Amino acid sequence: MRRVAGLLLAVLASAGPAAAAGSRVELYPATPAPGEVFRVRVDAEQPVSVRFGGREFDLWPADGGGWEGLVAVDRDARAGEADAVVVGRDGRPLGTAPVPVRAREYPVQRLTVSEKLVTLSAEDRARADREAVRIRAALASRTPRRLWTGPFSLPVDAPVSSPFGTRRYYNGKRRGYHSGLDLAAPRGTPVAAPAAGRVVLVGDFFYTGNTVFVDHGHGLVTAYFHLDAVSVSEGDRVETGQELGRVGSTGRSTGPHLHWGVYLSGRKADPLSLVRATAGPAVGGGGP
């Protein structure tokens, strides 16, 4: 990617000394890994988004001046330096900044389950396909404003039973990777909205059981799977801490737990990295 002359883009570890005249991009954390969310702060002339790894991530005005946004590294990205392109109003690049992507090893898990859950009947396949269309539409939500403030917190206070990103083999067949974070809370535990947003999809789905998707604005959507009961309806505005439902084991689940999913511009990301990126120190003086 060509670097735009006259535009100084420096990457700082955190709120560091003021950069020289020109524009700059700061990252928090400074070295994100594949599958992780990082926060950017951009000082440039009216930037609107950051293009990274083939997707576009919105920017919004930061509290302390400048612009800010959340970006996700693809789970299957390689470690090494990758360019983030700052995009201006008319879609033209304002400059690029190198993002040092550090290595992260994801575990492999081999599961043996009932064969009918691996090889679906025609009827179940048709149902799962119909549901996937609705889920994709929810993940494509692009509310052009930020509906949340403050850090994201865990929706239930429980230990992790399965981390994000684990590559899974079902009965020896390679499937996708684990798309969220499993929290081992008992059945009936209230699930709290980790931040404010708007409920964009509620359903009872083949794979994910009773499910809630919350749109937080600017392409950030969170998901709650396998719920025993749902406490909200599509279109509801929810505040931080509001009950979304109760932990259960509906859909393709082997026992009560909460599966928490995080999607940024449709890209799956490790929910723990969202908690870290939004809880970290203000970048360059601007809070989230």
Residues at the contact surface with Zn ion, assessed by CB under 5 A? 180, 182, 259
Least distance from C-beta 261 to Zn ion, angstroms? 8
Q: Kindly report the length of the chain.
A: 288
For residue 66, give the amino acid letter: G
Least distance from C-beta 230 to Zn ion, angstroms? 17
- Spatial CA neighbour of 277 closest among 49, 41, 12, 9: 41
- Based on CB atoms, which residue is closest to Zn ion, 66 or 194? 194
- Based on CB atoms, which residue is closest to Zn ion, 47 or 180? 180
Least distance from C-beta 184 to Zn ion, angstroms? 11
- Based on CB atoms, which residue is closest to Zn ion, 57 or 225? 225
- Based on CB atoms, which residue is closest to Zn ion, 165 or 180? 180
CA dihedral 275, 39, 143, 85 (to 10 degrees): -150
According to DSSP, the residues that pair with 197 across neighbouring strands are: 238
User: Coil, strand or helix: which one is 269?
Assistant: strand
Least distance from C-beta 253 to Zn ion, angstroms? 8
User: Coil, strand or helix: which one is 262?
Assistant: strand
User: Coil, strand or helix: which one is 255?
Assistant: coil
Q: What CA–CA distance (Å, rounded) separates 223 from 263?
A: 8
Least distance from C-beta 104 to Zn ion, angstroms? 18
- Based on CB atoms, which residue is closest to Zn ion, 155 or 180? 180
- Based on CB atoms, which residue is closest to Zn ion, 28 or 224? 224
Question: Residue 119: CB partners within 8 Å, gap ≥ 6?
Answer: none
Q: What CA–CA distance (Å, rounded) separates 97 from 138?
A: 31
Dihedrals phi, psi of 182, to nearest 5 degrees: -95, 130
- Based on CB atoms, which residue is closest to Zn ion, 231 or 253? 253
CA dist 43 → 20, 69, 166 (Å): 11, 12, 36
Least distance from C-beta 259 to Zn ion, angstroms? 3
Question: Nearest residue by C-beta to Zn ion?
Answer: 259
CA dist 31 → 27, 88, 241 (Å): 8, 24, 30
Least distance from C-beta 165 to Zn ion, angstroms? 11
Question: Residue 17: CB partners within 8 Å, gap ≥ 6?
Answer: none
